[in-house]
Structure 1
Amino acid sequence: MTISFSSSKKISKEQLSILYNDVEWSAYTKDLRNLQQALEQSLEVLSAWDDEKLIGLVRIVGDGLTILYIQDILVLNSYQNQGIATQLMQQILKKFKNVRQQVLLTEEAPDVRHFYEKNGFQSCDKGSLVAFAKMN
């Protein structure tokens, strides 16, 4: 298996549907046109491919100078625990290494916490940071 990476924001609705539904992020797939447009308007999208098959992606929003927000990072279940998400994250963090604020919001789970901490993120429940969110 040879994994390739692409920074193209042009990904078919079908490929996006398969990926997002596989990881049970169905809130995104209720409106695939909206999801596709969100990718196209993102600051950066880096996707992982096994030949012609979309197997993962990371999507970044923000200005790319003072702040970036990691909106989505996901990998097909059958490809998880193979370092693909780590490669996606490391490539993004390298590209935006000079951006002071690198932020994300996610659900609590031991494997999730471990993943982000090993990639240099600090949980806001530890240290002097505080986080707020308003979800509709």
Structure 2
Amino acid sequence: MEYVYKEDKKIDKESLKSLYEDVEWFAYTKDLDQLAEAVAHFLYVLSIWDNDELIGLIRVIGDGLTIIYIQDILVLKCRQNKGNASELMRRVLIKYRNVRQKVLLTEEAAGVRHFYEKNGFESCDQGTLVAFAKLG
């Protein structure tokens, strides 16, 4: 199937709502204005479209030169396990190939560790790095 990839931060709120709610990330859709504004302020946003349907996106923050932080990567449930998330990740890693630090924080869940490891990431609990986060 041929999808369209867009490097555009202006994504309509209803498309964002459909995608985020489909993957049950309801905390983001409580305030759609804030979500749309956040997307508009990111360093980089890459989305996948099937005609007019948003089927996935990846959002990146950082300076784009020394560090990037992958904030979100999500794909509609019915389009998962078909290489869509890996393709989003591949394109981001190519775009920012010269950036030394590529960081992300995610919840431990079935398949999550495998996905990131197959895409070249190492868990900080298994290497020489230490990671800290203050949530809330």
Fold conserved between structures, TM > 0.5 = yes
Tell me how far 1:2 sits from its aligned partner: 1.9
Partner of 2:7: 7
Contact kept, 8 Å, 1:5 with 1:48, in 2: the verdict is yes
Kindly, what percent of the aligned residue pairs are identical? Answer: 62
Q: Residue in 2 aligned with 1:128?
A: 128
Instruction: Tell me the residue number matched to 2:111.
Output: 111
Counterpart amino acid of 1:80? Q
Report if the CA contact (8 A) 1:9-1:45 is conserved. Answer: yes
Task: Name the CA distance, whole Å, in 2 between partners of 1:49 and 1:110.
Answer: 26
User: What residue is the counterpart of 1:40 in the other structure?
Assistant: 40
Higher mean C-alpha displacement, 71-80 vs 2-11: 2-11
Partners in 2 of 1:42 and 1:127 — Cα distance?
29
State the shift of 1:8 in Å. Answer: 0.7
Pairwise mapping of residues 1-136 of structure 1 onto structure 2 (< 5 A)? 1-136=1-136
- Matched residue count: 136
Cα distance, 1:105 vs. partner?
A: 0.2
- Return 5+ residue gaps in structure 1 as ranges: none
Question: Aligned partners of 1:130 and 1:18: how far apart in 2?
Answer: 35
CA distance in 2, matches of 1:127, 1:39: 32
Task: Report the Cα distance in structure 1 between the residues aligned to 2:93 and 2:130, rounded to whole angstroms.
Answer: 22
CA offsets, 1:79-128, max 9 Å, x none?
Answer: 00110000000000000000000000001124100110011000000111
Q: What are structure 2's unaligned runs of at least 5 residues?
A: none
